[in-house]
Each structure stands twice: as structure tokens, then as C-alpha cells.
Amino acid sequence: MTQFDQMHSGELYLPTEPDILYEQLNCQDLLYDFNHTRPSQRKKREELLKIMFNELGENVYIKPPLNANRGGHFYKIGNNVYINYNLTMVDDTRITIGSHTMIGPNVTLIAGTHPLETQLRKEGYQYNLPVSIGENSWLGANVTVLQGVTIGNNVVVGANSLVTKDIPDNTLVMGSPAKIVTNLD
């Protein structure tokens, strides 16, 4: 199994392998270009997003700055998605954002993490678990979503929430850790 395969397997791997670092630098160069566009350069932004993101739907708006490890290379974004400024993506494996979803400012999506064992961390190992956000959902400002979490369809995540476990469809959650407040119709 290659290091690239291990990135998506949930197994430990070393992100410092030369091929992985080379790919990451290329993605970050594209992010740099995207983040340094003028607001009037909307067409250039759209072109850069199409290069950066693995699957990008129609009518997707991402307001710079955008921060990421892989520059959206492992992302799937649906149609009619709005992402406010300063989205941070620890996107070392797949992240999915469903259609008609809104993401507030300063949101962090974390697909990569490190082992609890001190020696493995010291050696630089990490592992990744995918993050998935369903359709017609809204993540408020300053939300953090941890690795391995699936957020269902029609979910609202209140501002400043920390999402540590899966969230079912049609719910309002908030808090740290996020808890279900009510069901939505």
C-alpha cells in the first residue's frame, strides 16, 4: 500500500514523504493564488477552484481566505454552496459538502489527526478520517468539525460549536461538544 493509499485508509502514515509534500506544495501554491485575487477577479477565482477541487458543483462561492493542507484536492462540493471567509480545512483525506449548504466564517473542518501514543506523534505519524456534511445544512460562525464526523441533511450547527460525533438529519445542534437542541421540520 502506498503512502497515498494510507492517507485515505484511516491507518497511520507519514505525511513527510517527498511525494506527499510535493503534491501538498502544489496545492498550496494554488491556494496562495486564490487568496491573493482581487474581489473583482471572480472569474479567476472560479477557474482556480475548478483546478483545486476534485469535484466542484455549479454555483459554488468561496470567499477568501481559504486555508488547507491539500487545497481541496480530496473535496466533493455540491451545487449552490456558499462558504464564507476563512474556512480552514485539514483536508488530508475526503471531505464532502452537500448541495445547498452554507458555511459561516472561521469554520474548521478537520479530517486529519494524530495518534495518542507519544512515540508515534514524535515520529510524525498521523491518520485521517473523512468528514461529510449533508445537503441543505448550515454551519454557523466558528464551528469546528472533527475527523470521522458525518453531519446529516437539513442540519443547523450553532455558532462556536464543536462537532465530535455524527449528527442526524433535521436537527439543530450547538455547544461544545455539540448536542441536539431540537428537531427541525
- Is residue 114 part of the annotated active site? The answer reads yes
Nine-digit cell at 80? 449552490
Candidates 99, 100, 97, 101; CA nearest to 89 is 97
Catalytic residue among 36, 73, 100, 114: 114
Give yes or no for a contact between 101 and 135, defined as CB atoms under 8 angstroms apart.
yes
Cα 128 to Cα 126: distance, rounded to the nearest angstrom: 7
Q: Fill in the amino acid letter for 157.
A: V
Cα 182 to Cα 172: distance, rounded to the nearest angstrom: 5
Any idea which residues carry the catalytic annotation?
Answer: 114
